[in-house]
Amino acid sequence: MKCIDLGLSDYKEAYKTQCEVRSKVAEGACENTLIITEHKSVITIGRIGSEKHVFKTEGIEVLNVDRGGDVTYHGPGQLVAYPIFKLENEARDIHGFLKFLEEVGISFLSKYGVMAETRPGMRGIWVKDSKIASIGIGVKKWVTYHGMAININTDLRPFSFIKPCGIDGVKITSLENLLKERLDIEDAKRKIKESFEKIPLLAEAVCKG
Amino acid sequence: MAELKLPELAEGVNEAVVSFWHFKEGDVIKEGDEIVEMATDKAAFNVPCKISGILRKILVQEGDTVKVGQALAIIE
């Protein structure tokens, strides 16, 4: 797995990079690649989303994007991971891949001593009654893009401008909020990379037998 | 004539929403062409066509919710 760190990026620029890498991975010209970044503040609406779920913006740009799911916020202090992975043979299972992403997120959070879980029928990764990470992907020619956004030191206020993921009354949290200390984002990048390398992509398919 | 159906997605996922059609009625389709983009609450994905032919009729419109196994289009 290759890893590209875009640093603090503009959403549209990073999207362009995702698409370029996705084409290369689809052609076999590039191995599976993990793009990691923090985005400058932006609100994005997925394919299932509605502009009605954005109440105010305070000047934050709003973009319609080609991933699953509803509305979310990205901003500095949030670790965004875009796995551009080719799904081949038994791995051609989009929801199996989503399960993989959830496991990667849970493994990442466990490195901080945080017990996270998924909730039946709810999207993303949760710590007790608060959502800490959002997941939404796209798949083209069996190559995945978009991915997972985990709140590390994110300013959580802009989440109150929107109805995150279209869910009523959802509480959003961050690692900083849970651990009461500001965390090193570079260390978080190393940890997420390790989690992607450790969790097998095919665990779900193997379990299904 | 063949129906293009929404394939099985995953356990517990019974429906998806049509995002948009990459082709229009009357277009020539080759086997493997991704002809419609669908989305669920977590993923956006394309449905490929398993046969070559002409896209005769589009049965579901953008924004429609479609059940697994439901016909999306007729290919001739």
Q: At what angle do helices A185-198 and A94-110 cross, to 10 degrees?
A: 130
- Domain tally, chain A: 1
Containing A6, the helix (H) or strand (E) segment is strand A2-9
Confidence of residue A209 (pLDDT cuts 50, 70, 90): very low
CB A116 within 8 A of CB A105: yes
Mean pLDDT over each residue of chain A, to the nearest integer: 93
> pLDDT value at position A167?
86
Q: How far is residue A81 from each of residues B21, B68, B73, measured CA to CA in Å?
A: 29, 30, 35
Q: Does B10 reach chain A within 8 Å, measured CB to CB?
A: yes
Q: Which of A179, A160, A178, A180 is nearest to A170 (CA)?
A: A160
> pLDDT value at position A166?
87
Q: Does A135 reach chain B within 8 Å, measured CB to CB?
A: yes
Q: What is the pLDDT of residues A64-102, one digit of tens each?
A: 999 999 999 999 999 999 999 999 888 888 888 999 999
User: Taking chain A, what is the end-to-end CA distance rounded to the nearest angstrom?
Assistant: 26
- CA atoms of A52 and B59, how far apart (whole Å): 28
Does the structure show a pLDDT above 90 at A120? Answer: no
Q: Does A190 reach chain B within 8 Å, measured CB to CB?
A: no
Closest CB to A48 among B10, B13, B17: B17
Q: Which of B2, B60, B55, B3 is nearest to B26 (CA)?
A: B55
CATH number at residue B30: 2.40.50.100
What average pLDDT does range A16-41 have in this prediction?
Answer: 97
Q: Which amino acid is at A112?
A: Y
The sheet carrying B28-29 orders its strands as: B2-5, B71-75, B53-58, B28-29
> pLDDT value at position A204?
46
Q: Which DSSP symbol is given to B17?
A: E
> pLDDT value at position B10?
66
Q: Which of A14-28, A120-134, A182-196 has the lowest mean pLDDT?
A: A120-134
Q: What is the pLDDT of residues A146-177, one digit of tens each?
A: 999 999 999 999 999 999 988 888 999 999 99
Domain of residue B41, residue span:
2-75
- CA atoms of A22 and A5, how far apart (whole Å): 16
For residue A52 the two structure tokens come to: 């009605």
CATH number at residue A137: 3.30.930.10
Mean pLDDT over each residue of chain B, to the nearest integer: 91
Domain of residue A7, residue span:
2-208
Percent of chain A at pLDDT exceeding 70:
97
> pLDDT value at position A186?
98
- CA atoms of A140 and B46, how far apart (whole Å): 6
Does the structure show a pLDDT above 70 at B22? Answer: yes
Work out whether the CA dihedral A192, A68, B36, A97 comes out positive or negative.
Answer: positive
For residue B23 the two structure tokens come to: 């082709």
Residue with tokens 């086997």: B31
Residue with tokens 């049509």: B18
Return the higher-pLDDT residue of A65 and B13: A65
> pLDDT value at position A94?
86
Q: Which of B3, B11, B73, B12 is nearest to B38 (CA)?
A: B73
- Contact residues on chain B for A137, CB-CB shorter than 8 A: 42-44
Does the structure show a pLDDT above 50 at A114? Answer: yes
What average pLDDT does range A54-61 have in this prediction?
Answer: 97
Given an 8 Å threshold on Cβ–Cβ distance, is A47 in contact with B9? no
> pLDDT value at position A91?
81
Provide the 3-class DSSP secondary structure of residue B37: strand
- Domain tally, chain B: 1
pTM of structure: 0.89
